[in-house]
């Protein structure tokens, strides 16, 4: 076949598929969000969801979780990635263990941490074992909002650090060893090497890792459902309950667009902060 047409034939299936199941539904959801009950254009749906009493709290919860979880994950992933890059023996084994959570769903992660935090769970059993408590404490109730928050944050950190780790390890692998040898020759300390070589050269990977993680952080849903239930409303949970419990798909669409808007906004901010000067990549 003609080499000029062939590439287009090859990308046609993906393009069609994405048009049908990505761009078209995106247009639909936007339409639905801006549609009033009488069919005209309006902000009614947005007004409704924003004015609902749970909206500010779910917005606050979602942003707060992202603000706590993502930086911790970034720090942890960077630490793990540098540790692994120095490792000689057992590197494969350690990497395998550290990346296991990559394949675990948010729902399963929520259930795993439920096993620790529930009333008859392992945390209580441990506290009981060392004599801190006599009776099991019910941590996950509305009286302990900070423990609920902590449990959700820990589950998220536990589950989703792996994706950043993988991206960063791959990124570090692309940095030529000679740069570090040169830095050694010029007498740069390990810390200086990290801040002056690893960090700047890792910027493209950091970009990818952060964008991906931040977007997923705004989509947080099942972990919260498993651990907090309705105690800890988040944006995605609200969207779900508009669709199913309240059967108000217009409002659900408006929520979806709000989440989208926040995700895109943060993506742009991250890309801007971590932009790589042209020609300065490896």
Quick count: other Cβ atoms within 10 Å of Cβ 24?
A: 11
Of 95, 70, 100, 74, nearest in space to 85 by CA: 95
Q: How far is CA 61 from CA 73, 123, 148, in A?
A: 18, 24, 11
Please report whether residue 104 would count as binding another protein according to CB under 8 A. Answer: yes
Please report whether residue 252 would count as binding another protein according to CB under 8 A. Answer: yes
Please report whether residue 169 would count as binding another protein according to CB under 8 A. Answer: yes
Question: Considering only residues 58, 62, 124, 241, which one is a binding residue for another protein as defined by CB under 8 A?
Answer: 124
Of 194, 96, 107, 201, nearest in space to 156 by CA: 107
Please report whether residue 8 would count as binding another protein according to CB under 8 A. Answer: yes
Please state the closest distance from residue 193 (CB atom) to another protein, in A: 15
Q: Return the bridge partners of 133, or none.
A: none
Please report whether residue 118 would count as binding another protein according to CB under 8 A. Answer: yes
Please state the closest distance from residue 154 (CB atom) to another protein, in A: 9
Please state the closest distance from residue 43 (CB atom) to another protein, in A: 18
271 contacts 209 by C-beta, under 8 angstroms: no
Please report whether residue 66 would count as binding another protein according to CB under 8 A. Answer: no
Question: Considering only residues 59, 78, 80, 234, which one is a binding residue for another protein as defined by CB under 8 A?
Answer: 80
Which of the residues 192 through 251 are near another protein (CB under 8 A)? 204-205, 207-209, 211-212, 215, 218-219, 221-222, 225-226, 229, 236, 239-240, 243-244, 249
Fill in the DSSP letter of residue 187. Answer: T
Helix axes 24-33, 249-273, angle to 10 degrees: 120
């Amino acid at each position: 076949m003609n080499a000029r047409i062939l590439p287009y034939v090859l990308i046609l299936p993906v393009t069609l598929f994405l048009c049908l199941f990505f761009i078209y539904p995106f247009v639909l959801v936007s339409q639905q969000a801006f549609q009033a009950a009488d069919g005209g254009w309006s902000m009614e749906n947005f007004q409704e969801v924003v004015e609902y009493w749970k909206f500010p709290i779910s917005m606050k919860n979602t942003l707060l979780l992202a603000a706590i979880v993502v930086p911790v994950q970034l720090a942890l992933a960077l630490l793990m990635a540098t540790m692994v890059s120095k490792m000689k023996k057992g590197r494969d084994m350690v990497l395998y263990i550290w990346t296991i959570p990559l394949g675990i769903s948010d729902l399963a992660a929520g259930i795993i941490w439920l096993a620790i935090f529930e009333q008859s769970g392992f945390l209580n059993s441990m506290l009981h074992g060392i004599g801190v408590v006599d009776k099991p404490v019910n941590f996950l109730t509305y009286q302990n909002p900070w423990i609920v928050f902590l449990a959700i944050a820990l589950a998220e950190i536990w589950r989703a650090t792996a994706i950043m780790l993988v991206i960063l390890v791959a990124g570090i692998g692309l940095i030529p060893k000679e740069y570090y040898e040169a830095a050694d020759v010029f007498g740069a300390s390990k810390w200086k090497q990290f801040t002056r070589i690893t960090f700047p050269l890792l910027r493209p990977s950091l970009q990818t890792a952060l964008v991906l993680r931040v977007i997923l952080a705004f989509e947080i849903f099942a972990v919260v459902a498993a651990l907090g239930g309705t105690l800890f409303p988040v944006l995605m949970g609200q969207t779900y309950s508009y669709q199913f419990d309240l059967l108000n798909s217009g409002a659900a669409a408006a929520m979806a667009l709000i989440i989208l808007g926040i995700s895109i906004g943060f993506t742009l901010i991250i890309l801007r902060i971590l932009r790589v000067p042209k020609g300065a990549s490896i």
